[in-house]
Amino acid sequence: MAERKSLRQTLRQRRRALTPAQQRAAAAKLCRLLRHQPLFIRSRHIAFYLPNDGEIDPRPLLEAALACGKRCYLPVLKPGAENNLWFVRFDKNTPLHNNRFGIPEPRADARRVLAADQLDLVLLPLVGFDAQGGRMGMGGGFYDRTFEFKHRRKQKTYLLGLAHSCQQVAQLDVAAWDIPLSAIATEQGVQRCCRGVLARDFIGAVSSRVRLLNELF
C-alpha cells in the first residue's frame, strides 16, 4: 500500500512537471489521434472529463465532438452515494461549479443524466498505466464503483484511459475490483488492453498488450 501511494505521488509529480506548452502539444496530438478513429466516429454518447492535476487535456476532442453533434457528458459526484459518479449532459452553455475536490462539474441534475451503461465511450484520466493494461487512478475508486457492472455482464460501454506517455510504468498490481480498460491512449498512440476489443476500433492498431503505437504519427 505504501509503495503504491509513493508511486502515485511520483506519477502525479511527473505529469504536473510538464510545461503549459507541453500540455497544449499533448492535447493537440491526442485530439488528432482520436478524432478520426472509427471508435470515436461511431460513438454517439461520449463521456469526457475536465483536466486537473496535470492530467492530459481532452478538451480539444470535446470541442470536436460537440461540433460533430455528438452528445457529450461530464462526470459529477453522485448525490447521496459514496465515491460514485453520474454523467451529466454538457454543452458550451452548461454552467459549471467546483465540487468538493475543486474540480469543475455541471450541476447534479437528474434530468440531464445518462446511465453509465448507456454511454458508448468513456474517456477517463489515469495516474499511471502499464503495457498490460493495468491502470492506477487517484485512489478514490469512483470509476471502479460506477462501472462495477462490467464485471458481471458484457456491455457496450468502451472505457478508454487517457494519460501522458511519461505516466507509463513497467508493471502495476491489479486488484480484483479494478475495472479493466478497453484501451489506453496517450499523445504517442493507442494500446488495446482487453480481449474482444477489435482492431477496427483504431486505424493501425496492433495486437493487444504489446506497446503504444508510434506509427500513427
CA angle at 190 for the pair 72 and 136, rounded to the nearest 5°:
80
* Nearest C-alpha neighbor of 155 from the set 164, 144, 166, 147: 147
Alpha carbons 189 and 205: distance in angstroms, whole number: 9
Alpha carbons 128 and 138: distance in angstroms, whole number: 9
Per-residue CA distances from 31 to 57, 59, 68, 110, 213 (Å): 9, 8, 14, 30, 15
Q: Domain-by-domain residue ranges, the chain? A: 2-201
pLDDT at 214: 39
Averages of pLDDT over runs of 10 residues in the chain (217 residues) are: 84 96 98 94 97 97 97 92 89 93 91 94 94 83 85 80 95 78 92 66 52 40
Cell of 145: 464503483
pTM: 0.88
- Alpha-carbon Rg for the chain in angstroms: 16
Cell of 214: 508510434
Name the CATH superfamily, with its identifier, for domain 2-201. Answer: NagB/RpiA/CoA transferase-like (3.40.50.10420)
CB contact set of 65 (below 8 Å; sequence gap of 6+): 40, 46, 48, 72
Alpha carbons 57 and 48: distance in angstroms, whole number: 10
CA angle at 84 for the pair 151 and 166, rounded to the nearest 5°:
75
Whether 37 and 46 have beta carbons less than 8 Å apart is answered as no
Whether 154 and 180 have beta carbons less than 8 Å apart is answered as no
CB contact set of 124 (below 8 Å; sequence gap of 6+): 47, 49, 137, 143, 159, 160, 161, 162, 181
Alpha carbons 131 and 63: distance in angstroms, whole number: 29
Tally of CA atoms within 13 A in the half-sphere of 150 that contains its CB: 23
Cell of 180: 479493466
